Amino acid sequence: MKISQKGIDFIKHFEGCKLEAYLDAGSVPTIGYGHTTVTTMGYKITQTQADQLLKEDLRITEILVNRLEINLNQNQFDAIISFVYNCGIGNFKKSRLLRLIKEYPDNSQIVNEFKKWRKGGGKVLPGLERRRMAEAVLYFTGKGVEDEV
């Protein structure tokens, strides 16, 4: 599967875009829409470069999620891509969230599993709380940020 435009817009909304490198909540140098690979402080990019980095990062994230062979509809896939893009494939692979999705893809406990992933740099972050709730809504209803999640 591939992420939809709704999913891309969802990620852009929650990541935001910064064209100059900054330290994220975990003190990791970051640029564009949450790009962290080979980013150093002081580095600057254009909007076009930020869009390209996101496209490449999402392609890799899609490959990693597709390798897990989970049966998902488009909304579910978009929500999981957002989660993995933000939290990492390693965290997703060892999470109860993945186990629930594989065994019981419509289980309401999935909402609670999304909500558990709300910390950055060891602190609960309101932005991550909003994102995880929005991912759960996207997963179950297909409503994205344009639908006022």
Name the residues annotated as catalytic.
15
**83, 12 in Cβ contact below 8 A?**
no
Strands 18-23 and 29-32: antiparallel
Residue 103, by phi and psi: left (phi above 0), alpha (psi -120 to 50) or beta? alpha
Counting beta carbons within 10 angstroms of the beta carbon of residue 14, is it exposed (0 to 12), middle (13 to 18) or buried (19 or more)? Answer: buried
Residue 86 has phi, psi (to 5 degrees) of -85, -40
- Cα–Cα distance, 109 to 41 (Å, whole number): 40
Q: Are strands 123-124 and 18-23 parallel, antiparallel or unpaired?
A: unpaired
| Cβ(6)–Cβ(144) below 8 Å | yes
